[in-house]
Structure 1
Amino acid sequence: MPSLTHSKVPWTVTPPANDPLPAPPDCETAALLRAFLTPILERASSWDDLTRGLAGKGYGIAFRAGHLVLLRLDTGAAVCTGQFLGVPLRSLSARLGRPCVKVHRGGRSGSLA
């Protein structure tokens, strides 16, 4: 990751990814993730409730290219999308309301504000 300096303030540039969404996990991992995380996604009563429930299992959420993406909290690595788990952002938004998203530089990703 190249580091650039502008006006004596260091900042990091992340190269644009061709596909910001994670690759689907293998079948065994997918089955475990669905069993482990889908109930949290389906039972959450608010976006805060969802983030707390996922954090309790070591996961977080981000938004990329219009999709909800689950992340590992320890590494920040993208694991899968909500759609992959059968709970797409569209259905969560219909149930929990539209999330308040802080958009990251470049406009293709964001996080809950």
Structure 2
Amino acid sequence: MTRRYSERLIDDHALLWLSERDSQNKLTTLARAPSPQAPENISARRLRAVVALCIVNKDFADAASLVEWYIRRNKLNFLDSLERTLAFDTALSELYPQYKTERGRTGI
């Protein structure tokens, strides 16, 4: 049985979407990517999810680097705030001493 065009189209898009997210490095890059609708807008939810993934994988340096980058941008997501971001950073520092050490190296 031949697949219909719409099935192939969906499969192709799904494969592309998955291939863009099949490693932590790709996800870290994606976390820094702006929204196509608002080029200055970074998804705070996506960024925090990737930070959590980095921590699960014990990659505290990447987690700290992402948080530092987001704070230093001085342009948070319009649904986010500096207070929320700093609370997230503080909670990670309290829960994970390795993260706190890495954040100490970054300077914020």
**TM-score, reference length from structure 1:** 0.28
Name the one with the larger helix percent.
2
- Rg larger in 1 or in 2? 2
